[in-house]
Amino acid sequence: MDNKLLTIKKKLLKQRDELLSEAEHTLNNKISTEKESFPDPTDQAVAELDNNFLLRLRGRETKLLKKIDEAIARIEGGTYGVCESCGEQIGIKRLEARPVTTLCIECKTRQEEEEKLQEG
């Protein structure tokens, strides 16, 4: 495995560990918050809104974790850096900037343009 891929893999593993650590922290805080009682209904409502926001945020992070795992699997399988749309190599600068990407810049740009057209 060349040095650039090894560096990207280390970056992905570090990001994965950080996300998992933050998720564990959130879960522990949620459990301790649930044990608290709020005499004021407004305080209870604010706490519930905060919890809902954190859970939505964690949902996004779960999707990112899946993408990270898939990217690591592609690195280990030797298919990392190949655009899933056109089959061409994805530029190393793009991979360094967005290590979980599966599309080259041209295909990603085309995808975004098509999405804008569909949205109207």
State the DSSP string of 11-55.
HHHHHHHHHHHHHHHHHHHHHHHHH---SSHHHHHHHHHHHHHHH
pLDDT value for 109: 96
Tell me: pLDDT of 114 over 80: yes
Q: pLDDT digit string (tens) for 6-38? A: 999 999 999 999 988 887 777 776 655 555 666
Residues 47-75 have pLDDT tens digits of 777 777 777 777 788 899 999 999 999 99
Residue 110 has pLDDT above 90, yes or no: yes
Q: Is the pLDDT of residue 85 over 70?
A: yes
| Domains defined along the chain, listed by start | 1-80 (1.20.120.910), 81-120 (no CATH)
What gap in Å lies between CA 85 and CA 18, rounded to an integer?
30
Place of tokens 């706490």: 47
pTM score of the predicted model = 0.73
Name beta bridge partners: 89. 82
Residue 47 has a pLDDT of 72
Token pair in block for residue 25: 């922290």
Per the listing, tokens 């057209």 go with: 117
